[in-house]
Structure 1
Amino acid sequence: MLLVDDHALVRGGLRAVLDTTDDCQVVGEAATGEEAVERALTLRPDVVVMDLSMPGAGGVAATAALRTDLPSARVLVLTTFADDARVRAALAAGATGYLLKDATPDDVVRAVRATARDEVPIDPRVARSLLPATGTDADPVPSGPVLPPREREVLVRLARGLSNRQIASELGIAERTVKVHVGSVFRRLQVADRTTAALWARDHGY
């Protein structure tokens, strides 16, 4: 993976955590968005851990460029910002996951692994940004295609950033069953990935 942050101390801390795991290998580092794109095209990492606030091109612009120039690379945002605008901008640019910098080392490792599996690890505090804003205490009425009850349950949890395994645990069903439901949700919503499905859920009252 490639670590992108303008603070060498942060990059060093992340490397110390990730290099101790058997299935994670840091292949390089970058301090700016431009450098991140350049190094990624050379190193071709599976996962890019991306800060948002950096000199020059920020993390959102770098993420968008990476998704265009190196679509095989998945981006995990690791930042201090949890506001709705930045969360939505990063996900819209193509970020797979979104984590806050006060996450524990174990949380970071789990998020990196989930990102590599093309799941959508979203910090629970950030997940609120994907929920619809309402002016009352009443529950919003979902719009769009009508989903069967079980698929609605799966979509809601997918929008929270849960993995198939976590959804299966919460719903008390097999992980392979969750995979089938996720595929059906994608077809009904006409989306191709979990991030787009999560954004669709946010925009349609789920």
Structure 2
Amino acid sequence: MNQQQDQLATLHEIRSIMDRSSRFISLSGLSGVAAGVSALIGAAVVKWYLVAHQINYRQDAGLNLTREAILYIVSVAALVFILALCSAAYFTARNARKSKHRVWDSKTERMLVNLFIPLAAGGIFCAILLYHDLLYLVAPVMLIFYGCALLNASKYTLSDIRYLGLCEITIGLLASFFVSYGLVAWTVGFGLLHIVYGTLVYFKYER
């Protein structure tokens, strides 16, 4: 009986080693927290702009925004995306050095390729929606494509990202029906969920 248990333990260890060797495991939970905080700040800035210009997003559903307002919101979203990328790169590189892993290798490349293909498709689709003045669908589409990107990349990194992706898709689909809550959905999806996910991953793998 003990011999059988030892064999099972050995098989489990071998499987764990093989899994780590085929996945990018240096992704830091702190990068998720930083991305979430950046999104919350971005949402607060957008909300301040809408209030200052007496625009009620819940009532207008993004239909009556001026070109200036659209440009402002898109600029804030782009800045949040850049900040999230920079924080992810910084904390992930720091975590890799701490764990004595390489930051860039074939695993990193596979993960990024599978992440950015759905992101690029979603970005292009959002630009098409803006071109056709369908701004109220941009927030849901961003959440849905981002969730798909996380699901696609989860095969090559921490499996926990899969659950974050499913949550993002769910919120995006709900926001597609309740379009007047697009900003709220964006705040929850990119802000709160990232903070919760990042905190859980940090305490699970990095403490």
Structures share fold, TM-score greater than 0.5: no
TM-score (norm 2): 0.24
Structure number with greater CO (CA < 8 Å, separation at least 6) is 2
Structure with bigger helix share is 2
